[in-house]
Amino acid sequence: MVDSCEQRPRLKGITLALFMLLIATLISCIIAFFTSGWVLESSFRHGLWEQCWISLPTLGYFIATQVFMSLALTGIVTGIILMALYLFHHSVDKNRILFGLVIDTFVTFALMLIAIIVFGVKVGSYASWSYGIAVVSTVLCLASAILAVVKLARS
C-alpha cells in the first residue's frame, strides 16, 4: 500500500527553492511595477504608471515597457498558479504542470528582458531604483526558469 503522502510533492529541496524564487520574483516585480522610481532627473521623475513632469509627448519606448512589464507580471502570476497546481492538485500530471511552468517562466523572462533593455537603452544613466528592482526581478525569473528545467529533468 502506497502512503498518500509519498504521492504529493513536498515543499523541500528544488521545489522549495523554485517556490521561493517565484514568490521573490513576484514581489520584486510588483514593487518595480507600481513605484515611481524608474527615472529620476532634476526636472522629472516617473514610474511605469506615474509621471511627474510638464507636458512631454507620449514616448513609444515607454509604452512598450509598460506593455511588456504588464505581460510579464501576468506571466509571473500564472507561474505562481502553476506552482500551486503542482503542489496542491494531486489529480493532474505533474510533468505537464512543470513543462507549462518552464514555458511560462522562460516567456516571462523574455518579456522582462525586452522591457528592461528597451527602457535602459532609451533612458541610460537616468534609470533609478525601480528600474534596478525590475532588473533584479528579471534575474530571479531566469533563476526560476532554470530551476523549473532542473525539476522537470529530475521528475
Rounded mean pLDDT of 119-132?
89
Cβ distance 8 to 52 under 8 Å? no
For 48, the grid coordinates are 511605469
Span 134-148, pLDDT tens digits:
999 999 999 999 999
Span 105-115, pLDDT tens digits:
999 999 999 99
Cβ distance 45 to 52 under 8 Å? yes
Indicate whether 31 pLDDT > 50: yes
